[in-house]
Amino acid sequence: MRAYNVFRSQAALAGRMVRNGPASLTQKRFLSIHEYRSMEQLNKHGINTPKFLPATSADEAFAAAKKFDGKPVVIKAQVLAGGRGKGHFDNGLQGGVHLVKTPEEVRDLAQKMIGSKLITKQTGEAGRICNAVMIAEARAPAHEYYAAILNDRVTQLPILIASNQGGMSIEDVAKENPDAIITTPIDYTKGLDLKTAQEIAHKLGFSSEKLEKQAAETFVNLYKLFDEKDATQVEINPLVETKDGQVLCLDAKLGFDENAEFRQKEVFDLRDISQEDPSEVEAGKYGLNFIKLDGNIGCLVNGAGLAMATLDVLSLNGGKPANFLDVGGGANAAAVKKAFELLLGSKDVRAIFVNIFGGIMRCDVIAEGIIQATKELDLKIPLVVRLQGTKEAEAKKLIKESNLKIFAFDNLDEAAKAAVDKAHTQQ
């Protein structure tokens, strides 16, 4: 039974990778910022949110809560992941979003949240550390809507996605009630005009003309923010109309294009690396493109395309990659050694697969790095290597003369098969 399950999940993984590439690769080129930072950006762009204050300790949260004139507030874990409301903390506390009445309750909840990990359907089992909370004025929603601006592959334009079924996961709405989602492509030279925005707001069914107008202005300003800040994602869920007649963003998730870092310093200064995987941060310092996956074959490859292909070939051979790692075109022996350290840093890794196509990158430089790393790091797991291209012969000679137990191949499929076999037999 177990063998069948393993087989089935690997087949599913292989199928998904062949179609889409590894799922976890897609979001890593974007900077995400915390909700309270996102709300500051919204306010700067004339978009309404409830009043809010961040806090990084229980005492600070207590003091912040007292500034809301005795009105009810919400306390929200500042963790870079969606689904906080329905998440739970590693200490057992249910929910990353709580509606509370007194500053004392805020202090107690902040005490439990700060320093603990919040687990949501987006974080995986490990969860993410909560180092701050946001205290916001609680508002009574009369209705919850959804609004997002994203880049759309199909139209190759930014699109506004809006729905009157907000507050829940938009993926569920898309599945169960696709007609409730209005998608509007935006001409990026003209932006979103107020008339179009107003038509969308009208279709969504805001309960008065005044609210419709406020919603339309919100959409226009959300697009301006998206455009001016090189955002890749502006997602408001929920966008609400309140019982006292206001349109407000109760939650905000902003993502930004990392290629725009050079001209968006103000935004990129808001990066919080405590929310990122430490090994991925470390890799970044060495110019390595490293993303953890959940398999057991450590991969070291040059070039993102070849790295993706390598993951596919391993999957097709029934293996599970432990990571995506592109050492780039200019890696030196030190970077290769660092790469090995990162691969070996995971207790799950049972075999290492090096797949290098030497173009600008010379195979002998890689071989030197491998040999150095193998000796210095006392490598105990099998190492399968495929080197082709520039200085291939020199590289092979180096490996041979090193007398290290390295399994060398020319053919990619054979090499992948060997890596999969060795990972299996090491279990």
For 232, the token pair is 């890749």
Choose one: 231-239, 293-301, 327-335, 396-404; the region binding Mn ion (CB under 5 A): 231-239
Q: Of 35, 60, 212, 235, which one is the catalytic site residue?
A: 235
Q: Please, what is the minimum distance in Å from the beta carbon of residue 147 to Mn ion?
A: 11
Planar angle of CA 303, 258, 217, nearest 5 degrees: 145
What secondary structure letter does DSSP report for 78?
-
- How many other CB atoms sit within 10 Å of the CB of residue 5? 9
Complex with ligand GDP: residue 61 or 250, whichever CB lies closer: 250
Q: Is 70 annotated as a binding residue?
A: no
Whether 235 is catalytic is yes
Whether 223 is catalytic is no
For the segment 68-107, give every residue that binds ligand GDP (CB under 6 A).
Answer: 74, 76, 82-85, 97, 99
Task: Walk across the sheet containing 297-301 and list its strands.
Answer: 289-292, 323-326, 297-301, 351-358, 383-389, 406-409
Kindly report whether the peptide bond that precedes residue 158 is cis, defined as omega within 30 degrees of 0: no
For 22, the token pair is 């590894």
Query: Which residue among 163, 221, 237, 315 contacts Mn ion (CB under 5 A)?
Result: 237
Binding-site residue total for ligand GDP (CB under 6 A)? 19
Q: Is 368 annotated as a binding residue?
A: no
For the segment 353-372, give every residue that binds ligand GDP (CB under 6 A).
Answer: none
Query: Which residue among 34, 139, 143, 417 contacts ligand GDP (CB under 6 A)?
Result: 139
**From CA 174, how far away is CA 190, in angstroms rounded?**
28
Contact predicate 134/78, CB 8 Å: yes
Q: Is 40 annotated as a binding residue?
A: no
Q: Please, what is the minimum distance in Å from the beta carbon of residue 22 to Mn ion?
A: 26
Q: Is 251 in the site for Mn ion (CB under 5 A)?
A: yes
Q: Is 345 in the site for ligand GDP (CB under 6 A)?
A: no
Contact predicate 323/314, CB 8 Å: no
Exposed, middle or buried by CB within 10 Å (0-12, 13-18, 19+), for 265? exposed
What secondary structure letter does DSSP report for 264?
-
> 217 contacts which partner out of Mn ion, ligand GDP, none, CB within 5 to 8 A by kind?
none
Annotated active-site positions, please?
146, 235
Q: Could you list the residues that contact ligand GDP (CB under 6 A)?
A: 50, 74, 76, 82-85, 97, 99, 138-141, 144, 167, 237-238, 250-251
